[in-house]
A and B are shown apart, each in its own frame.
Chain A
Amino acid sequence: MIVAKGLTKRFGDVLAVEDLDMDVKSGEIFGFLGPNGAGKTTTIRMLSALISPTSGKAKVAGYEVGREDNEIRRNAGILTESPGLYDRLSAEKNLSFFAELHDVEDVAGQVERYLRLLGLWDRRGDVAATFSKGMRQKLAIARAMLHEPKVLFLDEPTAGLDPEMARLVREFIGELKDKGRTIFLCTHNLDEADRLCDRIAVVNTRLLALDTPEALRAKLYDRVVVIHLSAASPEYEKVVREQPFVRSVELKDNKLVVGLDDPERNNPELIRALVDAGADIQFVGELRRSLEEIYLRLVK
């Protein structure tokens, strides 16, 4: 649905995006992560035909950036970093205006549909200036959806929202994926990206990594299991270290933190060895690296 090859954007002497290659599949939620100034917004602007690349090529929904920009605009929706609403206009008028610019056939019907879907129908006549931050964000999301785009670019959709509102927005994004939309999600909320995204690209001007969150974990870190014991002993640590498949071991309080290549295969043997050595095992769990750890390791 989105293909970029060598996509580069330069503003004078400043290189904002460098040689970006990626391929976003139809119907997936694609996370686009990176520190401030990493070129995320510039990439979104290039892909949504707002600005042109300095070099490289990109296609969105089958249309080429720079050559078929109007077709891209018809097939893509964008939630910009700032909601950018007309404060003096009502929610309904804000949406009607954009529906008309997008040549939506049933303007009133489509506006009503999205206002109801996002729980804003009862406030349709109120001017946007009276809306809370969350409501403004929902209105901006509705605006991006009015023309039923195949691709949706979301730039920080939950930034500044309270947890309840952020959850509502995340649920809505999940529903959009269920309906087959392709979503390009820029976010600083790594937990959100971990939960929502099928694949993640980490960028810092250029692409640092691109894969599923699980694959990124596996690439960057050993898999680690934590074995909780009723009583700790250096003897148990020695037993674990002697196993040929163990990559690392550490004794912390009553816990053994063990790095393994393949926990599904190695765990039974490891547990057996510990039990044979007299260890009382309370429970065993896997230590899951957060996306934050992966991200920080990549960008540093």
Chain B
Amino acid sequence: MRKIWVIARKEWAEVFKNRFVLFTVVFMPLMMTALPLIILYTMGTPGEMAGFSAADMPASFADLCEGLSGETCGQYFIVSQFMLLFMLMPLAIPATFASYSIVGEKTTRTLEPVLATPVTTLELLAGKAVAAALPAIGATWLSFSIFSLGVAILTEGSALLRQVTGPLWLFAIVVVGPLLAVAAVSIAIMVSSRANDPRVAEQISMLVILPLLGLFFAQISGLIFINETMILWMAIGVTVLDVGLLAFATQLFQREAILTRWK
């Protein structure tokens, strides 16, 4: 456990000096937090949205507005379109981070001295995974907290805040977010065992966001609306996926293959 932490600290010390990675970790959450808040601000207060009712909403969404006024339901409808962005963060940030931290070792030939120490492959991978996942999870949780605070200030009331910080989205951010981060790291590790250029690895790893992006557009176009059941199934599905991906990534990441096949 201690060595995992040693590796993670080294990764942070090194990778955060890379301006591109730092930009991704800081700018992406900033943008994804600001976007829904700006939209909320431009929509105005519930008073300005008078006349809005749950009946104006798509039927599948109206169920999520139980107990809300028509105006608040309208605000929630708009804001919920962007809530999925908070689940994109734990996917996109580790993909960038892990691409640089693992493929970077290839290009700088730093991995051989590390493998010559009494560190196990599992410790090495776990250290890199922790280093990639924790900043993403931290940034996501921090962004969501800032967003919730923004909602509390902008809406001058607690009804929308209760919806945004209710069990649905709390579960999505606190539980599904980290599970997605693990999936992103596993995929980045797999890609790294084949790619030789950090930029190529990053571009391929970024494909991991496509399913969630699909979900985002499906919701925006009104095809589906994220509800508790969907999030629960998503958590189960991603957990199963994580187990498979981690096992496969560890299989691919063989010491000998790294030293003799990485060029």
A pairs with B:
yes
Which A residues lie at the B interface, using CB under 8 A? 11, 45, 48-52, 70, 73-74, 76-78, 80, 82, 84-89, 93, 97-98, 100-103, 140, 143-144
Let me know if B118 and A86 touch, CB within 8 A. Answer: no
- A80 and B113 contact, Cβ closer than 8 Å, known pairs A86-B10, A88-B18, A89-B10: yes
B116, A73: Cβ atoms closer than 8 Å: yes
The answer to whether A80 and B112 have CB atoms under 8 Å apart is yes
- Please give me the residue from chain A that is nearest to B110 by CB atom: A84
Cross-chain contact B108 with A86 (CB below 8 angstroms): yes
Contact with A along B150-180 (1 / 0, CB 8 A): 0000000000000000000000000000000
CB <8 Å contact, B112 and A97: no
| Pairwise interchain contact A50-B112, C-beta atoms closer than 8 A | yes
- The secondary structure that dominates the B interface is helix
If the complex has contacts A50-B259, A84-B111, A84-B113, are A97 and B10 also in contact, measured as CB distance less than 8 A? yes
A94 to chain B, nearest CB (A): 9
B interface residues, tally (CB under 8 Å): 25
Greatest chain A CB density within 10 A among B3, B7, B111, B116 is at: B116
> Do B108 and A87 touch (CB < 8 A)?
yes
A100–B113 CB distance below 8 A = no
Q: CB < 8 Å: which of B17, B108, B119 contacts A84?
A: B108
B87-111: CB near A (< 8 Å → 1, else 0) gives: 0000000000000000000001111
User: Does B18 contact A50, Cβ atoms closer than 8 Å?
Assistant: no
A98 and B259 contacting across the interface, CB-CB below 8 Å: no
CA gap between A101 and B115 in the complex, in Å: 10
Nearest B residue to A69, CB-CB: B118
Cα A85 to Cα B107 with chains together (Å): 11
Q: A50-B255, A51-B256, A89-B10 are contacts. A101–B114 as well, Cβ < 8 Å?
A: yes
In the complex, what residues of B have CB within 8 A of residue A52's CB?
Answer: 256
Contact with A along B11-29 (1 / 0, CB 8 A): 0011001100000000000
Task: Sort A-B residue pairs by CB-CB distance and give the 8 closest, nearest first.
Answer: A101-B117, A88-B17, A82-B109, A84-B110, A73-B118, A84-B109, A100-B6, A70-B118
Chain A nearest CB from B238 CB (Å) reads 32
What is B's interface to A at a CB cutoff of 8 Å?
2-3, 6-7, 10, 13-14, 17-18, 108-119, 255-256, 259-260
Q: Which chain B residues lie closer than 8 Å to A77 at the CB level?
A: 116
What residues of chain B lie closer than 8 Å to A78, measured between beta carbons?
112-113, 116
A-B pairs with beta carbons under 8 Å apart, 6 shown: A49-B116, A73-B118, A76-B116, A89-B14, A93-B10, A102-B117
**Residues of B contacting A88 in the complex (Cβ-Cβ under 8 angstroms):** 13-14, 17-18
Distance of B176 from chain A, by nearest CB (Å): 33
List the B residue with the shortest CB-CB distance to A97: B10
A153–chain B nearest beta-carbon distance, Å? 9
With a CB–CB cut-off of 8 A, which chain A residues contact B17?
A: 88
Contacting residue for B259 out of A51, A82, A144, CB 8 A: A51
Query: How far, in whole Å, are A73 and B2 apart by their CA atoms in the complex?
Result: 18
Contact residues in B for A98 (Cβ distance below 8 Å): 113-114, 117
Cβ B113 vs Cβ A93 within 8 A: no
Contact across chains for A50 and B116 when beta carbons are under 8 A apart: yes
Among B14, B17, B113, the most chain A Cβ lie within 10 Å of the Cβ of B113
- Interchain CB contact under 8 A, A100 and B260: no
B106 to chain A, nearest CB (A): 11
C-alpha spacing A87/B104, complex, angstroms: 11
Query: Is B3 in contact with A100, judged by CB distance below 8 angstroms?
Result: yes
In the complex, chain A residues whose CB is within 8 Å of the CB of B118: 70, 73-74, 101-103
B residues near A86, Cβ cutoff 8 Å: 10, 14, 108, 110
Minimal Cβ-Cβ distance residue in B for A90: B13
Closest to B114 in A: A101
**Which residues of B sit under 8 angstroms from A97, Cβ to Cβ?**
6, 10
Which A residues touch B114, using CB under 8 A? 98, 101
Instruction: State A49–B118 Cα separation when bound (angstroms).
Output: 10
A6 to B117, CA, bound (A): 26
Chain A residues within an 8 Å CB radius of B112: 50, 78, 80, 84
A137 to chain B, nearest CB (A): 13
